[in-house]
Amino acid sequence: MDFLTLIPTVSRPPGRVPLSRRLFWTAVVATVYILMTITPLYGVRTQQEGTHAAQQLLSIIFGTAYGTLAHLGIGPIVIAGILLEVFAFSGLLNLDLNKREDRLKFTLLLKWVALGIAALEATAYVLSGQFGQVGPVAGFLIVVQLLVATVIIILLDDLMSKGWGIGSAISLIIFLGVTRQIFLSLFSWDVVTDVHNQTHVVGLIPALGAALYDLFARGDAAPLVNLINRPVFLPGQPTPTYLPDLFGLLSTVLLGYIILYLEMMKVNIPVTAGQYRGIKFNIPLRFVYVSVLPIIFTTYSLLLVGQMLFPLSRDNPVIGAVVSVVFPPHRYFFDVPLLVAHFLIYVALATAFAWVWVQLAGLSAEDQARQFTQSQLHVPGFRQSEKILAKLLERPINALTVISGFVAGAFAALGNILGVWGGGTGLILLVEIALQYYALVMREQIMEMYPGLKDVLGR
């Protein structure tokens, strides 16, 4: 325990922090991380970020920015958290997270594991030549900078989770990564040159402005029509790159609305409070019971496979086909078997991970029944028994788990196929985190308006 406490930490606030101040510190955390994404690493000469789908998706999910202090993003912390939670709930860590002391040990251990993962990743990046040819001193300095950056991110997350901000820094950084991609798709002034030596503005709004100018100044409506679908063949790429267009905007809005609708659906379970006889109410379970972590598991697993196989895909057609299934070109509609394989892989993996996560993370029917029993809640018409409650909850929770995995995998795959801005996985995370922040802000406002609710909810 003494060794674990060597890592820096943020102290808790002396009392409840007002909402306005929590919003301020949340903005500070966002600003610090944005500055990290534009601060280059000392000793890195190559500053161009890879354009492969795996790297783009990784930067959205884990908030990475190539060659900067945010090169590792939140990846080490997310991976460490997933591993330790699986170990804790499976009993391998021998920690009872219901006890304050064990929760503290878990938090400190998570920080050290995240630093260890960051050290391994940074060393692997340097040795593999991802930053170009660097000497031993420069390589050592790069590793040190990335470790310091990881400590900063850990402190930012500590600041948020201790009550100074709203939510967690991890969720905030993922939210910033996806919204940044959508913002750039709308407003980026970057220009790309195709194989015919023609230039194209990347952002949809600037491209729309240029198209309207051509329409009214020269009577040429072709650029405006081309904004519906903008495939561009870039030098050295056999398949077209789709610049942000109206089809992508429509797909993003429509898919985002459907995800939002499903995320807000509830399944109500009628219960009775044992300590207040005669009082009946419903406990809502989300229709999409669990979606964020399974889709992160799925996407990260496919990213690892794709990145390992991508260097070999050019010389081996079989491996190339596997990589195409993992990362299909956007709107590759004429190759139906490839798209079906991509869809089925995402759905199968997301469903499997959802099932495993529910069993390990305290969300199973047995765990929910235990919580109901401890709160003296029982289903009307049935004897108050943990085993009976678990049996009653088993069917709906198992069904919701499978539905969650299917929905998350299906929409992630559809988003990839349709080329939605931020990717299918990014869009799911964006909607989920936005709902979480909305609920947290509403809760804080209610707490400030009705201070008496603090004591009621505390009991």
Q: Which tens digits make up the pLDDT trace of 387-444?
A: 777 777 777 888 888 888 898 899 988 888 888 888 888 889 899 899 888 888 888 7
pLDDT of residue 330: 65
**Residue 208 buriedness (CB in 10 A; 0-12 / 13-18 / 19+):** middle
- Same domain, yes or no: 128 and 35: yes
Number of folded domains that form the chain: 3
Phi-psi region of 418 (alpha: psi -120 to 50; beta: other; left: phi over 0): alpha
Beta strands per DSSP E along 79-237 = 191-193, 199-201, 231-232
- Same domain, yes or no: 212 and 106: no
Cα atoms in the Cβ-side hemisphere of radius 13 Å centred on 99:
8
Q: Which of 177, 210, 243 is the C-terminal boundary of a domain?
A: 243
pLDDT of residue 187: 92
pLDDT of residue 278: 53
Q: Which of 155, 187, 219 is the C-terminal boundary of a domain?
A: 187
- Asked whether the beta carbons of 156 and 32 are under 8 A apart, the reply is yes
Rounded mean pLDDT, 46-66: 65
Domain holding 370, by residue range, is 246-458
CA-to-CA distance for 407 and 424, rounded, in angstroms? Answer: 11
- Asked whether the beta carbons of 19 and 25 are under 8 A apart, the reply is no
- Same domain, yes or no: 133 and 13: yes
- Same domain, yes or no: 198 and 158: no
Query: How is 60-120 classified by DSSP, letter by letter?
Result: HHH---TTBTTSSTTHHHHHHHHHHHHHHHTTSS---TTSHHHHHHHHHHHHHHHHHHHHH
pLDDT in tens, 248-302: 899 999 999 999 998 888 877 666 655 545 556 566 777 777 777 788 888 878 8
- Encoded tokens for 280: 């009946």
The 8 Å CB, 24+ separation contacts for 265-274 are 267/396, 267/400, 269/379, 269/393, 269/396, 270/379, 270/380, 271/372, 271/377, 271/378, 271/379, 271/380, 272/377, 272/378, 272/379, 272/380, 273/376, 273/377, 274/376, 274/377, 274/378, 274/384
- Same domain, yes or no: 158 and 178: yes
Rounded mean pLDDT, 35-39: 90
- Same domain, yes or no: 273 and 398: yes
CA-to-CA distance for 227 and 206, rounded, in angstroms? Answer: 11
CA-to-CA distance for 208 and 217, rounded, in angstroms? Answer: 14
CATH of the domain at 400: 1.10.3370.10
- Encoded tokens for 105: 């040990």
- Encoded tokens for 199: 């230039």
pLDDT in tens, 442-452: 887 777 776 65
* Top-ranked range on mean pLDDT: pick from 10-14, 57-61, 130-134: 10-14
pLDDT in tens, 116-149: 999 998 898 888 777 878 888 888 999 999 999 9
- Same domain, yes or no: 43 and 154: yes
CA distances, 70 to each of 60, 62, 326, 351 (Å): 12, 9, 26, 31
- Encoded tokens for 61: 């999910």
pLDDT in tens, 148-204: 999 999 999 989 888 888 888 888 988 888 888 899 899 989 888 888 888 888 899
- Same domain, yes or no: 230 and 271: no
Q: How many CB atoms lie within 10 A of CB 330?
A: 22
- Same domain, yes or no: 209 and 291: no
Q: Which of 171, 187, 203 is the C-terminal boundary of a domain?
A: 187
- Encoded tokens for 406: 């299917």
Cα atoms in the Cβ-side hemisphere of radius 13 Å centred on 232:
22
pLDDT in tens, 328-371: 666 666 677 888 888 899 899 999 988 888 877 667 777 777 77
- Same domain, yes or no: 210 and 281: no
Average pLDDT score, the chain: 80
- Same domain, yes or no: 438 and 374: yes
The pLDDT of residue 49 is above 50: no
- Same domain, yes or no: 88 and 134: yes
Q: Considering the entire predicted model, what is its pTM?
A: 0.82
